Structure formats: C-alpha cells, structure tokens
Amino acid sequence: MKLIEAADYADMSRQAARMIIEQVKEKPTAVLGLATGSTVLGVYRELAADHRQHGTSYRLVRTVNLDEYVGLGPDHPNSYRHYMNHHLFAQLDIPLHETHVPDGLAADLGEECRRYEQLIDALGGIDLQLLGIGRNGHIGFNEPGTPFSSTTHVVELAASTREANARFFPSLDDVPHYAITMGIATILRSRRIVLLASGEEKAAALARLFEGIVSPELPASALHLHPDVTIIADQKALSLIPKEQRQVDVP
Ligand SMILES: O=P(O)(O)OC[C@H]1O[C@](O)(CO)[C@@H](O)[C@@H]1O
C-alpha cells in the first residue's frame, strides 16, 4: 500500500485526477471504477477542466460505479446516476451508454446484483477503481461486518452512514435505507485501487487503516490484501497518524 501525502483537498484532487488521466492515456479503452460523495467532486472538476483545456478523450472509456440507492432513479436529484451524469459524464466526451451505475429501481434487486457483477467481468474487469472512505471505514456501501468475500449485493445502510449522507437530502427521513453496492471481493478484483481521504472527519478511519489490522469491522482494511493500492490523503485526514508512521509501507 502506497501513501501519497497531499497538502490539502485541492492537491489531493489534482494528484488523483493525474493518475486517472495517465491511466486513460496509457489505455484509451480503460474501465474506470468510480465513486460518488463529496471527496471525489474535486477530482471530477479536474478531469472536466483537463478535458476542456487539453482534450483528453474518454470516447473509448467505460465506467462502472460502486453503488446506488435503492428506490432512486436517474431523474432523482439524489441518485448516484444523476450525480455522475451531472458532475462528470456531461463534462466529458464519454458515450453515456458506456457508463454504468447499478439500477436502484430494478424490480428484482438480486438479479440486478448478478447482472452488475457479470457486466464488470464482461467489460474485462476494472483497471482503476477510485474509492472514498466512510467515517466508519466503509468502502462503496460495504458497512462494517461485510464479509471480504462479498460480491455486488443489497445492503441496509448504517444509521451513521444515513446521517452522514443526510446533508445531500431535504431531511434524514428522505435518505434511503437500502443501497446496491459492489462487494469487497468485487472491489479487490480491480487491477489498481486509489483511495482518497480528506478532512478531519476521515482521520479516525484512516488511522485505523494504518494500524494494519485486517478485519471486516473496518471494511477498508481489506485493501491490505490487494497488491496495488495508492492512498492519497490530505494533512487533515492524516492528522491522527504520527509522521514517522506515514512513510512506511503498511503491511
Ligand atoms: O466522500 P464522502 O461524501 O465523505 O463519502 C465517502 C464514501 O461513502 C460513499 O458515499 C458511499 O457510497 C462513497 O460514495 C464515498 O466514497
């Protein structure tokens, strides 16, 4: 696991965008695994600016998103499909039909999970998966206790996750209780993983990750089992990790 220390949110966003742009230049047909939430917004702004200014093309790129709320469709302002279309896809030259987000309105959610898992395989697997981290250490919507062997599945959201995400909704009651998420095994099948963390509210989760304990109680700790993970974190997110522990490769 490699750590890149970023000065702040803007620096973290620039460095992550640089890695994605390099991935797309190296393999124009790359499959990008994408995340939603606040952390990655700066990365998407950087990708959009780079596309406008330097013309990096996403014409042949395919994308798969980590997760979607159950019950929210593409037209719902809080759905992750809506978020992705608005914040990223509309800003690039990527064909919309090559972008994939789980269908939160599927009549048969179990079937939708199986379809999504097969889709990722049919695309040839994920070249680079971008991740944020929840305050409780979740990745995607894999809450504490999720088995590392999990594939795409329906999850009941932890109360803390619903509260953390309530800021995007009119009220806490409007936050869905269920979501579809790639599982931990799905995420670990990606060839390369880049996890971003910014701000003090992520410091405790990151400090636990750096303790090196591998346990489903901290879903992000599954990343210790992957051979190619880069963490890009800003100084506030790293604030609970002593400086001398930051340089070493954690096991
Ligand atoms: O970046 P945020 O909004 O803190 O969210 C952290 C993570 O939790 C999720 O919102 C759950 O899906 C991810 O999309 C995100 O990467």
> Is the CB of 13 inside a 6 Å radius of any atom of ligand 1?
no
- Tokens representing 141 are 């919507």
Q: How far is the CA of 66 from the centre of ligand 1 (A)?
A: 10
Least confident of 83-97, 131-145, 153-167, 234-248: 234-248
Looking at CATH, the fold of the domain delimited by 2-200+210-232 is given as: Rossmann fold (3.40.50)
pLDDT at residue 19 above 90? yes
> Is the pLDDT higher at 243 or at 171?
171
Task: Tell me if 22 sits within 8 A of 69, measured CB to CB.
Answer: no
How would residue 251 be classed by pLDDT, with cut points 50, 70 and 90? low
Confidence (pLDDT) at 250: 53
Q: What is the mean pLDDT of residues 99-128?
A: 98
What residues does each domain of the chain span? 2-200+210-232
Alpha carbon of 39 to ligand 1 centroid (Å): 7
Q: Atom 2, ligand 1: which residue's CA is nearest?
A: 37
User: Could you tell me the distance, in angstroms and rounded to a whole number, from the CA of residue 37 to the centre of ligand 1?
Assistant: 4
Residue 243: pLDDT over 90: no
Q: Best mutation site among 12, 13, 39, 200 for ligand 1, i.e. most ligand atoms within 8 A of its Cβ? A: 39
Q: Is 38 in the pocket of ligand 1 (CB under 6 A)?
A: yes
Query: Residue 248: is its pLDDT beyond 50?
Result: no
pLDDT tens profile 91-113: 999 999 999 999 999 999 999 99
Cα(152)–Cα(184) distance, rounded to whole angstroms?
8
Distance CA 193, CA 33 (A): 9
HSE-CB at 76 with a 13 A cutoff on CA atoms is: 19
Q: What ipTM was estimated for this complex?
A: 0.94
pLDDT tens digit string along 131-143? 999 999 999 999 9
Ligand 1 in reach of 176 Cβ (< 6 A): no
